[in-house]
Amino acid sequence: MLRVYVTRGDSVEQLARSQMGHYGADYCAQIGGYAYHPVDERGYPKVRLGRQEVAVTEIERLACLHRFPLAALHEEILAEEREQKGEATSIRPRQLRLF
């Protein structure tokens, strides 16, 4: 969802203002707003997200709630791109690509 926008040069603030989301069979994620997270059979409480927060609410049709700072995801994508180009080596443990 984010990779194409980060690699073309969009800033964290531009991404936050976009409030984009992806809702498909592979995963559901969004930037900001309200995320709906099932906790029981009675309903879906909404979780308020910060402007620069990403929530993943489904993975392969399984409900979940994972929240990430948008700035951290932005930096991780840029670091992966630099590493692929051979510009820098990471001192952090390698995180497999999620999306």
Alpha helices in 3-61 (DSSP H): 3-7, 12-18
- Would residue 51 count as lying in a domain? yes
pLDDT tens digits for range 7-22: 999 999 999 999 999 9
- State which residues form the domain around 69: 3-84
User: For the chain, what is the domain count?
Assistant: 1
Whole-model pTM?
0.79
Contact 35, 55 (CB under 8 A): yes
- Would residue 10 count as lying in a domain? yes
- Would residue 89 count as lying in a domain? no
- Would residue 26 count as lying in a domain? yes
- Would residue 92 count as lying in a domain? no
- Would residue 94 count as lying in a domain? no
Residue 95's pLDDT is what?
65
Q: Are strands 46-59 and 27-36 parallel, antiparallel or unpaired?
A: antiparallel
- Would residue 14 count as lying in a domain? yes
- Would residue 65 count as lying in a domain? yes
